[in-house]
């Protein structure tokens, strides 16, 4: 009896803690404003935070121009190509009063930062990927001042950029496809889509301009939808297909380029989804570890190994990331896709390349996006700084899948040649991951 009296308090604590994990809501599970994430209170280290520190110290300055404000200077400092320009005319920004089909909002991006510019808008809108916090949001005033600075936003931006349905319950970014009217106002009664690399082509880019060639493929871009519960979707999609010239739609001169490249849009869709998955894997793993430690301390046992429930939680959060890194269930291309800007060239030349000149950035665009289907985001700081438990899980799963030890349908698209080429590219370009896989680095043999 005395032994049970000693054990009972520990069992009660264990039951309370595990119940809290099992029955908490998705929003409660995210908990990114509480320890250990502390989203709003933590000092970010993302690329925009680094640039802002340089601006504050005077080590960097931004040139201003009347037409674009600080846009060109910020893009240059952050190494964001103008060819990534993606134009959205639906009124879905907090600066919606300046957005219309005649004055679309321009988005620019690289591997880590997304930047929005609106003609006549008061601020630049920026989302920057922090390796521990996820998407961190900033604005920069478009008024000319002595020292331009970014302002971090932790409340207003999260009203749209924290959603279980759109951003997986973490601070994130997303691409939406809606049914815009002629004024750019979405017809919400018709619904809409969160689009990713898995989305059917015909559901994509409602409310966006799309330039380039895509043959018989059809999408929702470049057109307006009448106030009709049953619009003729085929006719509308045909009308918006294979557009190369935007000058008849609006005045293109104020924009940095005259395109809204289809390949850039495809990458934007993929990358936003993958970034959210990286953030969720990071946050959920750190929460699982913290809660496992709390349980083990209450039971008076060693902190490691993690509890079974915590290990399952890590796997649950990380498996979708594994699938995204390997482009699992990517929507197949039923015709060739070709952009009409320099985006594809600009994107590919960033490398890195293996000794055979191959890169994970090389496009296919005939049947799928990439020639070698393992994500270029494995080179990102956000991936490199995943918690050890998450990185171990993801690395181990990638190793098994690429070695052919997983026959799940989600990875059936990977041929033996794909797997071999990917392993060889990783061996030459990412020694840390190659070491975890025990690949012979510096050699493709």
Q: What is the mean pLDDT of the chain?
A: 89
Q: Is the pLDDT of residue 7 over 50?
A: no
> What is the structure's pLDDT at 14?
36
Q: Label residue 158 by pLDDT band (50, 70, 90).
A: low
Q: Is the pLDDT of residue 180 over 90?
A: yes
Contact 123, 139 (CB under 8 A): yes
Per residue in 362-374, pLDDT (tens digit) is 999 999 999 999 9
Q: Is the pLDDT of residue 3 over 50?
A: no
Determine the average pLDDT of the residues in 53-65.
96
Per residue in 207-262, pLDDT (tens digit) is 999 999 999 999 999 999 988 778 788 999 999 999 999 999 999 999 999 999 99
Q: How many angstroms from the chain centroid is the CA of residue 99?
A: 23
Helices (H) and strands (E) in the chain, counts: 14, 8
Concatenated DSSP letters of 88-122: E-SS-STTGGG-BTTB-EEEEE-SSEEEEE-TT-S
Per residue in 267-318, pLDDT (tens digit) is 999 999 999 999 999 999 999 999 898 888 888 888 888 888 899 999 999 9
**CA-based angle 162:163:169, to the nearest 5?**
80
The span from the CA of 394 to the CA of 66, in Å, is: 47
> What is the structure's pLDDT at 305?
86
Instruction: Look at 166 and 143; give whichever has higher pLDDT.
Output: 143
CB atoms within 10 A of CB 87: 27
Instruction: Look at 208 and 14; give whichever has higher pLDDT.
Output: 208
Q: Is the pLDDT of residue 9 over 70?
A: no
> What is the structure's pLDDT at 94?
79
* Token representation of residue 110: 């690289």
Contact 169, 163 (CB under 8 A): yes
> What is the structure's pLDDT at 13?
36
Per residue in 398-425, pLDDT (tens digit) is 999 999 999 889 999 999 999 999 999 9
Q: Label residue 171 by pLDDT band (50, 70, 90).
A: confident
Q: Could you tell me the pTM of the whole model?
A: 0.90
> What is the structure's pLDDT at 163?
53
Determine the average pLDDT of the residues in 35-56.
96
CA-nearest of 43, 115, 23 to 78 is 115
Q: Is the peptide bond before 36 cis (omega within 30 degrees of 0)?
A: yes
């Amino acid at each position: 009896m005395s032994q049970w009296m000693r054990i009972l308090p520990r069992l009660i604590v264990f039951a309370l803690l595990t119940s809290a994990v099992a029955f908490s809501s998705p929003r409660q599970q995210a908990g990114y404003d509480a320890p250990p994430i502390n989203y709003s209170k933590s000092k970010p280290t993302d690329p925009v935070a680094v640039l802002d520190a340089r601006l504050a110290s005077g080590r960097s300055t931004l040139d201003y121009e009347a037409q674009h404000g600080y846009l060109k200077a910020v893009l240059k400092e952050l190494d964001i190509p103008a060819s990534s320009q993606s134009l959205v005319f639906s009124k879905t920004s907090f600066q919606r009063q300046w957005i219309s089909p005649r004055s679309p909002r321009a988005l620019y991006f690289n591997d880590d930062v997304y930047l929005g510019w609106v003609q006549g808008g008061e601020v630049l809108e920026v989302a920057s990927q922090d390796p521990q916090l996820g998407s961190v949001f900033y604005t920069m005033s478009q008024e000319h001042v002595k020292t331009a600075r970014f302002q971090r936003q932790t409340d207003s931006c999260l009203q749209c950029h924290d959603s279980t349905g759109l951003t997986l319950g973490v601070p994130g970014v997303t691409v939406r496809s809606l049914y815009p009217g002629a004024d750019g106002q979405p017809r919400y009664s018709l619904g809409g889509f969160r689009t990713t690399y898995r989305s059917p082509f015909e559901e994509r880019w409602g409310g966006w301009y799309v330039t380039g060639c895509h043959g018989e493929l059809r999408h929702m871009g470049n057109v307006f939808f009448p106030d009709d519960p049953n619009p003729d979707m085929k006719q509308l999609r045909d009308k918006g297909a294979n557009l190369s010239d935007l000058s008849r739609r609006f005045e293109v001169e104020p924009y940095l380029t005259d395109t809204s490249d289809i390949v850039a849009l495809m990458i934007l869709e993929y990358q936003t989804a993958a970034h959210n998955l990286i953030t969720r894997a990071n946050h959920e793993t750190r929460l699982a570890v913290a809660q496992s430690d709390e349980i083990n301390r209450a039971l008076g046992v060693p902190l490691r190994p993690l509890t079974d429930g915590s290990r399952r939680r890590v796997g649950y959060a990380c498996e979708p990331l594994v699938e995204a890194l390997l482009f699992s269930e990517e929507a197949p291309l039923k015709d060739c896709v070709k952009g009409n800007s320099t985006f594809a060239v600009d994107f590919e030349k960033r490398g890195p390349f293996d000794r055979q000149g191959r890169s994970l950035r090389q496009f296919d665009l005939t049947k799928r996006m990439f020639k070698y289907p393992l994500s270029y985001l494995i080179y990102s700081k956000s991936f490199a700084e995943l918690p050890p438990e998450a990185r171990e899980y993801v690395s181990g799963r990638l190793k098994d899948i690429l070695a052919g030890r997983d026959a799940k349908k989600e990875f059936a698209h990977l041929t033996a040649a794909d797997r071999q080429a990917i392993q060889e590219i990783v061996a030459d370009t990412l020694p840390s991951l190659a070491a975890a896989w025990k690949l012979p680095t510096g050699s493709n043999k």
